[in-house]
Amino acid sequence: MREKEIDKLKEYKYGFTTDIENVKSPKGLSVDTIKYISKAKNEPEWMLEWRLKAYERLKQIKEPNWQKPKYPKINYQDLYYYSAPKSSQSKPKNLEDLDPKILDTYKKLGIPLDEQKRLNGIAVDAVFDSVSVATTFKDKLNEAGVIFCSISEAIQKHPELVRKYIGSVIPITDHYFATLNSAVFTDGSFVYVPEGVKCPMELSTYFRINASQTGQFERTLIIADKNSYVSYLEGCTAPMRDENQLHAANVELVALEGAEIKYSTVQNWYPGDENGKGGIYNFVTKRGLCKGDHSKISWTQVETGSAITWKYPSCILKGDNSVGEFYSIAITNNHQKADTGTKMIHIGKNTKSKIISKGISAGFADNTYRGLVDIFPKAKNAQNFTQCDSLLMGNKCGAHTIPYIKNRNSDSNIAHEATTSKISEDQLFYCQQRGLNSEEAVSLIVNGFCKEVLQQLPMEFAVEAQKLVGISLEGSVG
């Protein structure tokens, strides 16, 4: 009985597929595909030109391969770059017009789009494959002057903002996957918080990959104008499929003078089965620019899913006295692999950064923290504190810490601490003697290990994340 229960828990509960009619672009990467996407989204000419410029660049550059987790060559001509539920062709004006199957999908995921049933104080943008299907609480946000919509809608309705900021943090020439995204991105969220406004609720985007053989290339752009504040959370899941699916998102954050952006991620893409078959390749570029003085960007990530997670949410601390933070939990179990960390680029004076990374490996998994602290000559009195802790379960997994430090200023203060530990048999025994079963014991110990990071999550999501931490490690002790 107990084994059965554990088996049930071990299953990836978001692994179902929704049987829905799709509209897809022609297969493969080409000028035609890009034109198809741009046309499907009814984009202005400048946007298409921007995409094509990125595509030109893409043809000249190669995929990077310095990362620790290797993967079989991706055939970019064998992918679909755009897939949308047929019913959303003419974008539904309200929830009643939305395909009930999609509504049902989000309900199953625990993300009801019906505003009455939604947790108070959280607005959601739901992205299904390549398109945003619904955004809740729009009216309430409008009152505060906050713009929260899909990026496709923003391109049409707020072209001046999009044009000014898109690619300003991640240029189209950045690197292979970022450039690929710039050419073929499909949808994602857009946020603008006007000067002096504290966004009245948590903003959240829920990404769902449904269609097979489809890459997901979303693009998110968040702009916090002077002295504003916004907290944003993204969640992601995908069906269980034998194939590997590519998810290559770009997220750009811009914080102007005195503004603060808090960006949290709970990533639970399908990790593949216990033998390492299938799962998402999560190759994401996330970068924030502290453009103005006294601005602050804080990344918090809980990465439990994906076959391979490869990302470095970063902060460019350009404004004087700006602050960058990175709090990360990366859990890898079975055959999952992660190569993740952050880059803190100190350009302005008195800039501060803090990095807290917690890596947990179990099974045959491999987990690498890779981070860069780069202090420019003019960044007087820059400060960085880095703490990287790794926790190992069993003796077949790996943990690696690769910190790069470039210090070009003698006034700066850099501190780095790192630990590697194992969950001891005695700790487990102690918890079990107090009535916890082995899974509960692991969950408790690991949650303790991750506490400093979990505390950073918005309250509504902290509980979810704690459960997720436990579930991701089910079956990791024998």
Partner 1 sequence: MLEIRNLKATVEKKSILNGLNLHIKPGEVHALMGPNGSGKSTLSNILSGKKGYETSGDVFYENKNLFDLEIEERAHKGLFLAFQYPLEIPGVNNNNFLKTSLNAIRKARGEKELDAIEFLKIIKQKAKDLKFEEKNLNRQLNVGFSGGEKKKNEILQMSILQPKLSILDETDSGLDIDALKIVSDGVNSLRDESKSFLIITHYQRLLNYIKPDFVHVLKNGRIIKSGNSDLAVELENKGYEGIN
Q: Which residues bind partner 1 (CB under 8 A)?
A: 424-427, 429-438, 440, 444-445, 447-452
HSE, CB side, 13 Å, CA atoms: give it for residue 153.
21
Pairing of strands 314-317, 337-340: unpaired
What number of other Cβ atoms are within 10 A of residue 91's Cβ?
Answer: 17
CB of 440 to partner 1, least distance (A): 7
Q: Which residue number, 246 or 469, has a Cβ lying nearer to partner 1?
A: 469
Q: Residue 290's beta-bridge partner residues?
A: 255, 317
Q: Which residue number, 46 or 429, has a Cβ lying nearer to partner 1?
A: 429
Pairing of strands 189-193, 147-150: antiparallel
| Rounded Cα–Cα distance for residues 323 and 289 (Å) | 10
CB of 426 to partner 1, least distance (A): 6
CB of 444 to partner 1, least distance (A): 6
What the block records as the tokens of 99 is 């395909």
CB of 43 to partner 1, least distance (A): 48
HEC sequence for 206-230: EEECCCCCECECCEEEEEECCCCEE
Q: Which residue number, 72 or 435, has a Cβ lying nearer to partner 1?
A: 435
CB of 460 to partner 1, least distance (A): 18
What the block records as the tokens of 171 is 């240029």
| Rounded Cα–Cα distance for residues 251 and 60 (Å) | 23
CA distances to 107, 172, 198, 304, 365 from 203, in Å: 18, 26, 12, 21, 33
Residue entry with tokens 């499909």: 186
CB of 438 to partner 1, least distance (A): 8
Residue entry with tokens 């999550």: 457
CB of 415 to partner 1, least distance (A): 20
Residue entry with tokens 């004076």: 349
Q: Which residue number, 404 or 430, has a Cβ lying nearer to partner 1?
A: 430
| Rounded Cα–Cα distance for residues 105 and 37 (Å) | 24
Q: Dihedral sign for Cα 22, 27, 29, 34, please.
A: negative
| Rounded Cα–Cα distance for residues 311 and 401 (Å) | 15
Q: Which residue number, 6 or 161, has a Cβ lying nearer to partner 1?
A: 6
What the block records as the tokens of 225 is 């104008």
* Contact status, residue 85 vs residue 131, Cβ threshold 8 Å: yes
Alpha helices in 126-175, H assignment, sequence order: 138-144, 151-157, 159-165
Q: Which residue number, 67 or 427, has a Cβ lying nearer to partner 1?
A: 427
CB of 231 to partner 1, least distance (A): 24
Q: Which residue number, 152 or 443, has a Cβ lying nearer to partner 1?
A: 443
Q: To 10 degrees, what angle do helices 45-60 and 31-40 make?
A: 150
| Rounded Cα–Cα distance for residues 469 and 302 (Å) | 8
Q: Residue 316's beta-bridge partner residues?
A: 289, 345
Q: Which residue number, 89 or 432, has a Cβ lying nearer to partner 1?
A: 432
Q: Which residue number, 159 or 475, has a Cβ lying nearer to partner 1?
A: 475
CB of 52 to partner 1, least distance (A): 50
CB of 412 to partner 1, least distance (A): 30
Q: Which residue number, 95 or 444, has a Cβ lying nearer to partner 1?
A: 444
What the block records as the tokens of 216 is 């997901």
- The b/e string for 281-312 (b: 16+ C-beta within 10 A; e otherwise) is bbbbbbbbbbbbbbbbbbbbbbbbbbbbbbbb
CB of 302 to partner 1, least distance (A): 15
CB of 454 to partner 1, least distance (A): 9
Q: Which residue number, 142 or 437, has a Cβ lying nearer to partner 1?
A: 437
Q: Which residue number, 30 or 447, has a Cβ lying nearer to partner 1?
A: 447
